[in-house]
Amino acid sequence: MLCVGDDPLPSGRLLRPCSPRCAAMARRWPPLVVGLALLLLLSVAASSVVAKTDQPDVAALNVMFESMNKPSELLGWKASGGDPCGDDDEWKGIECSDSSVTEINLSGLGLSGTLGYQLSSLKSVTKFDVSKNNLNGEIPYQLPPNVVQLNLRGNAFSGGVPYSISQMTDLETLNLGKNQLSGQLTDMFSQLPKLTTMDLSFNSFSGNLPPSFQYLKNLKTLDVESNQFSGHINVLAKLSLEDLNVKNNKFTGWIPSKLKSIDNLETGGNSWSSGPAPPGMEKESSAGSSNGRDDSGINGFAIGAMVIAVLLAALILLSVLRRNHSSPVSSHYYTDESDPISLMNHSSSDLLAATGNFSSSRQLGQGTTGCVFRAKYADGRVLAVKKFDPLSFSGSSDFMDTVNGIAKLRHTNISELVGYCSEPGHYMLVYDYHMNGSLYDFLHLSDAYSRPLTWDTRVRIAVCTAHALEYLHEVCSPPVLHKNIKSSNVLLDADLNPHLSDCGLSFFYEDASENLGPGYSAPECSRPSAYVMKSDVYSFGVIMLELLTGQKPYDSSKPRTEQCLVKYVAPQLHDSDALGSLADPALRGLYPPKALSRFADCIALCVQSLLRCVQRTISNRGMAGYLSNSQRSDISDW
């Protein structure tokens, strides 16, 4: 029998030799007890030596098994430890190569629960198939990063498509069909050069097809049947598709003639235009295509090699920040004049009745420009009515100039103006109503644990809001300053998609620091004339900070050094050790650390580059004396 002090294996010691006192105690123990204790210790040590599977793979599968409620169908799986690639430990549906898990095939097993949050550790998995189960919740951001075939079809997944999919450069097959996915597709498909098959059918996706679809040059099969997609399908004309199914959506316009030679083309159940088709277009009855090998324009679009999808926001912000000039605010900005603007002219009595005589119980918010009320109609329609002080305008003509200007701002992520009231003394704007209220309310005034914003959703809100800001600054001509960007003006619809409100009302804000409130105003905005487009970007950076931390931009209840969120957090944005402690506890740690770091980089780009710009301007113009001592002190704190 081995003694405690013996060397059990000639290849090396697994146990440290006992001290003389330990050896004496061992001699007094019954031999059987000593032997059993030693065997137990040896078994633990041996298990750690002979385990074949890479430990990150084991940990990811453990979390996945636990998240799926430990189903009995998954024979061999464990919630802790195990060796799925070992010779004596077979796990159902798992294939390995050497010590790495390479395939997960769990189709049609009646599995429920979620997929967990650690799948990104499965770096060698090339096939991930959990189709035809009852899995639910959002598709996790943390998916196997090098997967070639991803099949989640036939489950109950909700929410949107995670941005991490845009980084799967080896992805060839993406099947998300027959789930409960919804909302707009983010424009994130430009970096998937190997994708040949994509199935998004039988979901509730809405909005236009993303422009980046045109870069899927190897895509052969696309199925978007039975969604709520709208707009035209011209973006598909450049693809070499062999199978295309766009049935039962809300597409309009004409079908590009280049699609008419597709072998299998399904286009029914849409609202195609019936008038004469423009050159290069066909009516639905004669729809078809060519092989779509027109590559023109492909090099003009550059999202860049992103480390993670959140860098989309960084690129948008870089584009905004590169503008070195500011433009005067104008109510005469023109975007797309091709479609007529149609707004409903409401009577004041109509809006009075719909809002319950502007009852305080119907009030949604109050700001510098007026109060906002919820209007409910007998047919079930719900709208938001912004009621102005009658003295805000010199007359109906002045008000209608404002209405016409706002009506021209048309973007998916900008609150849409649908009507107005211009009776003397009654000036009101009517907007679409967004049922989830403002981002500020969602982050700061609700129970974060009962209405959580997942990491994926927060990134989507940031990116879509950045798109809205890019539209105002880059697309509108002349550029439009917002001057009131804050989380209370980011409204969330039923799918938690953001809509920037109060656009086109910047003339109300003589002093932006007053309407923005503490925490949002850029340091140089002490003078109305100092407000520039980069000031908008600064305020957007504060919103991103709120999304990251879950904290208010200014909180007087905190210690003085922590009251202003930007001043307190900005010095820590590049400290990887501190970032984890800054993240909103409501996230419960369910986010990729690299994504958190990149998100912080975007924030720094917004709030710090502006300050550097201000400091350079002051230095270049010899205006150091312009700032008071307290203002210079504030800037030096950054």
Binding residues for ATP: 387
User: Which backbone phi and psi does 434 adopt, to 5 degrees?
Assistant: -110, 115
Give the helix/strand (H/E) hosting 168.
Answer: none
What is the strand order of the sheet 426-432 is part of? 344-345, 417-423, 426-432, 382-387, 370-376, 363-367
Q: What is the Cα–Cα distance from 229 to 223, expressed in whole angstroms?
A: 12
Binding residues: 387
Give the pairing of strands 100-105 and 370-376.
unpaired
CA 340 to each of CA 48, 335, 383: distance values in angstroms, whole numbers, following the listed order: 71, 12, 22
Beta strands in 473-559 (DSSP E): 490-492, 498-500
Tokens describing residue 76: 């061999």
CA 418 to each of CA 116, 345, 384, 490, 494: distance values in angstroms, whole numbers, following the listed order: 42, 9, 10, 18, 18
- Quick check: 186 and 462 in contact, CB under 8 A? no
Can you say how many angstroms the Cα of residue 27 is from the centroid of all Cα atoms in its chain?
Answer: 65
Q: What is the Cα–Cα distance from 369 to 215, expressed in whole angstroms?
A: 43
What's the sign of the alpha-carbon dihedral 178, 184, 188, 194?
A: positive
Using the structure block, give the residue that is written with the tokens 């090098």.
146
The CA-to-CA distance between both ends of the chain, in Å, stands at 69
Q: What is the Cα–Cα distance from 253 to 276, expressed in whole angstroms?
A: 11
